Amino acid sequence: MRKTVATVLAGAAMSAVLTTPAVAASSGGDPMCSPGRTKLVWSTKSKPWVVTHKRRVEHFTTDPAKKTFKVDKIAEVKASVTATAGGKIGGKIVLAGLEGSIGLELKAEGKVTNKKSESVTYNMTKYDTYIYYSGTKKAKGYYTQYRCDRGTKWIKTGRYGKAQSWTTPTEGGVRCGTKPPKSWLAAVVKKKYC
C-alpha cells in the first residue's frame, strides 16, 4: 500500500465552479456569467482523519524487533453522493467539485476503503506500547447548485445534496511514549488508543 504523510490544508471557504462543456470556467464571485453555466457552492465541509485498521502491541523483550502485524478493520469509508432536494447531479461532477473545494485527491463514487485486515511492518526499539494502524481522510460537504440567469446573476436551481469520499490511505505505527505532530494520523491514533 502506498504510504502518505498527512498535511494540514487551508480551511478557507471556496466555491467549486462546474460548467457545461462548451463554456469556460470563471471566478465563482464574478457577477457576470454565461447563460446556462452551472456551479456548485459547498458548505459545512470537513476532512477529519478516520482510523480504518489498528492493532495494539506491547514490546518488552530485551532486543529491538522488526515485526509484521496484521491490523484488523475497525471502520470503513465509502465515497457517495446523495441528492437531498431536486434532481440528482452526476456523481463524477459532484465529487470533482468536492475535491477542488476541499483540496484533496478523492476516490470515485462507490469506492470503499479496504474491508479486510492489512499487514504493517514496523521496528520496535524501546520498551513501550505500540499501535499499528491504517487510515484515511474522510472528506464531506453539502452542495447547492446555481445556474447563470441571462448572463447577469446566479440563481439557485433547487438542487441540493451531500457528498463524501476518501483519499489515499496512510499506514504506520506509533509508540505511545512519543509525541507525533498534531496534524498527523499518528496523533489521532495515539490520543484515541494509547
Give the pLDDT confidence score for residue 30 in this predicted structure. Answer: 55
Contact (Cβ atoms closer than 8 angstroms) between residue 124 and residue 158: no
Give the pLDDT confidence score for residue 29 in this predicted structure. Answer: 52
Least confident segment among 33-37, 73-77, 103-107, 161-165: 33-37
Greater confidence (118 vs 135) lies with: 135
Whether residue 11 is predicted with pLDDT greater than 60 in this model: the reply is no
DSSP state for residue 186 in the 8-state scheme: H
DSSP state for residue 87 in the 8-state scheme: S
What sign does the CA torsion over 26, 29, 30, 33 have? positive
The architecture that CATH gives domain 15-193 is Beta Complex (2.170)
Residue 61 pLDDT level (bands cut at 50, 70, 90): confident
Q: How many CA atoms lie within 13 A of 119 on its CB side?
A: 4
- On average, the pLDDT of the chain sits at 83
Whether residue 107 is predicted with pLDDT greater than 50 in this model: the reply is yes
Q: How far apart are the first and last CA of the chain?
A: 24
For the chain, domain boundaries: 15-193
Segment 157-173 shows an average pLDDT of 94
Least confident segment among 56-70, 127-141, 156-170: 56-70
DSSP state for residue 153 in the 8-state scheme: E
Whether residue 155 is predicted with pLDDT greater than 90 in this model: the reply is yes
**Torsion angles phi and psi, residue 185, rounded to 5:** -60, -35
* Per-position b or e across 92-107, b if 16+ CB within 10 A of its CB: ebbbbbbbbbbebebb
Q: pLDDT (tens digit, 9 = 90+) per residue, 41-55?
A: 999 999 999 999 999
Residue 40 pLDDT level (bands cut at 50, 70, 90): very high
Cα–Cα separations (whole angstroms), residue 164 to 33, 58, 123, 184: 29, 36, 35, 21
Place of cell 464574478: 30
Distance CA 5, CA 147 (A): 38
Whether residue 186 is predicted with pLDDT greater than 90 in this model: the reply is yes
- Longest alpha-carbon distance in the chain: 76
Q: pLDDT (tens digit, 9 = 90+) per residue, 68-106?
A: 888 999 999 999 999 999 888 999 999 999 999 999 999
Give the pLDDT confidence score for residue 88 in this predicted structure. Answer: 87
Distance CA 60, CA 83 (A): 53
Rg (CA), the chain: 21
Give the pLDDT confidence score for residue 5 in this predicted structure. Answer: 35
Place of cell 453539502: 142
Distance CA 71, CA 135 (A): 11
Contact (Cβ atoms closer than 8 angstroms) between residue 159 and residue 94: no
